[in-house]
Each structure stands twice: as structure tokens, then as C-alpha cells.
Structure 1
């Protein structure tokens, strides 16, 4: 018994499709990129506005590498100081020492010792910056702006350090 010409064409097409599918499935799976590691940092967007950081809280995974994409959407200059208690105290003291006594006097730039610097980025209104950061594995950290008057206005953010797999990406 011979098949109609259309049935033979369908059989040939089916065999061809199966061959393609089988060939594709034999290829090795693509290499999985793990975000949050050196060379593939997880991106974290943070907006600095007048006296607040967004989002808040910021969830970071202990030991991961992140790239902070910072945008100052406020009308004033702001700083992004990320670090533990020692870092926050050092920057607060540096700003207090640099604050001029006169009303319109220009403050000298604040600085701290490199061994306690933490991460600090100073942004003018409308400015953007990107910076990579290695999240500590054991030390708790916080985020604050120590420019004169900003901390007193509440410019701090909660930073939650979680174990890998516990944070949403």
C-alpha cells in the first residue's frame, strides 16, 4: 500500500524536526552566571533625595559583590557612606571637624584614614555614580549621609545583610 504524497511529506518533515530537536538537546547547557560575584556584580539602584535613601531597607547578601548605581535626585548635595559603626563615627567626626564656624564659610573637604574609610560617594544635585562594593561577611553595616544637618534630618537607611538565597533579586 502506498501513502499519499502529503503523508510522505509530513513524515519527512517530522523526521527533520526530530533530528533538529535531538541535535539541540545534545549541546551542553549554557554556563550559569551567578550574580553577586566578582566579574558579575549584582546591581543595586539607590536614589538619594533630600534627607532619604530609596529603596529602604536595602537588602545585601553577605560576601557578595554589588554595583551600586547611585542617583542624587535631590536639590542638595548628599553623600552615601556605607560601613559599620567605626566608619560612620569616623565620617561624622570628620565632617564635624571640617564644618566652618562662619555662616557662609567654605568647608574644607572631609576625609578619614583609609583603614576606616568604608565606602563614601559624594554626589551633587542631579549627579550619578556607579561603584562596586564587596559586602562584608560578618560585620553589620549601615548607610548614612553625614553632611552637616543631613543626619539630624533623618538621612539614614536600614541595610539588611542576609544569607545567600534569602534575598530577592
Structure 2
């Protein structure tokens, strides 16, 4: 598990350097849950999101409550197509650790990693991504800035390609 945490921390540092600043992206930034003006529940299924698309307003702070109803680990990641493509490469490099964490998580019977900054990994804990183990819940709160073509997606290897992605429209 410590190798997973270390790898996650290195990946986050690389991602943040590419983003330009620690937690601010062109389309917004993480926010504390108490700043949310709206709560949106998103169900993560094996291989789909419900709802399939989301709409927010520029300037709005949204608290996403994420519920993994599937049998597989899933993530909720906010980003543009290029960010998702880069994140997918990082996830492939760490898929063994992800599987080991998922197996250990199920054996423990609780969500020790769900919604946690488990080393900040590959965006997890960096604000725009949260990993949710099967049967667990997590939250992500985000303040949306200007309109930008972004998506919410699961970048666990193969999930994006199988259609676990949806448009997020910022009005």
C-alpha cells in the first residue's frame, strides 16, 4: 500500500505542475463542502454514471455526492479530454496497486480509501478526482469558473473507453 501512496504522490506532483497551480484549473477549483450552493447526487454503476450529463453555472459551488453502486472501483474525475487522456496513462501504470487496494478495501468492509487523499494520487485528493470503492460513498466539492468544454469521467483502465464519461456543461 505504501508503494501505491508514494506513486500517487509523485503523479499528483506531475499533474499539478502541468496544471500550473496547486489546485486551480481553468474551469474552477476545489471548495469546502460548506461553501456549496447545491448538492448533486451521482451514482457510479458498472460502466455508467447516473445522471449521464451535468449542467452547472459559472460561479456556482457544487457538492457532488458520489455513490458507487457497482462491483468495481470507480472514480469521478473533472477535466477536459486531454486531462482525461493523461490521467488514463497514469491509471494504467498503477492498475496493479488499484486492484490490490480494491481487494483490501472489500476485505476491510469499510471505505478507508473512498474520498480520502490517499497520497493525493493521480489527481485523487488533488481536488478534481475522487476514487470510490464498490458499495462506498464519497464527496467532491468544486467551484466552477468560466465556461469550458469539460467532462466527468471514470479513468480506471477501460472504463472511459467503455462509455463511463459524460459532458459537464458550465453555463
TM-score by length of 1: 0.60
Normalized per residue, the structure richer in helix is: 2
1:139 to 148, 151, 171: 148
Higher relative contact order (CA 8 A, sep 6+): 2
Question: Which residue of 119, 129, 154 maps to 1:120?
Answer: 129
Report SS of the residue matched to 2:160.
coil
User: What's 1:111 paired with?
Assistant: 121
Counterpart of 2:170 (choices 136, 158, 161) is 161
- Tell me the distance in 2 between the aligned counterparts of 1:40 and 1:66: 5
Q: In structure 1, how many angstroms separate the alpha carbons of the residues matched to 2:159 and 2:35?
A: 34
2:55 alignment partner, one of 35, 59, 78: 59
Q: CA deviation at 1:113?
A: 7.1
CA-atom RMSD in angstroms: 2.6
- After superposition, the Cα gap between the structure-2 partners of 1:128 and 1:113, relative to the gap in structure 1 and judged at 3 Å, is closer
* 2:24 aligned residue: none
Per-residue CA deviation, residues 16-75 of structure 1 (Å, 9 max, x unaligned), is: xxxxxxxxxxxxxxxxxxxxxx73421111000001001121111122100001101111
After TM superposition, which residue ranges in structure 1, 4 or more long, deviate above 3 angstroms? 109-114
**Aligned equivalents of 1:99 and 1:131: distance in 2?**
22
1:74 equivalent in alignment to 2:84: no
Q: Using the TM superposition, give the Cα deviation of residue 99 of structure 1 relative to its aligned residue in structure 2, in angstroms.
A: 3.6
Unaligned stretches of 5+ residues in structure 2: 1-33, 102-117
Given that 1:77 and 1:122 are in contact with CA atoms closer than 8 Å, whether structure 2 keeps it comes out as yes
On the 8 A contact 1:68/1:132 being kept in 2, the answer is yes
State how far apart, in whole Å, the 2-side matches of 1:40 and 1:84 are: 22
- Higher radius of gyration, 1 or 2: 1
Change (3 A) 1:139 1:49: same
Aligned partner of 1:41 in structure 2 is: 37
Unaligned segments of structure 1, at least 5 residues = 1-37, 163-169
How many residues are treated as equivalent by the alignment? 118
Q: Provide TM-score, normalisation by structure 2.
A: 0.60
When residues 136 and 87 of structure 1 are mapped into structure 2, their CA distance, relative to the original with a 3 A threshold, is farther
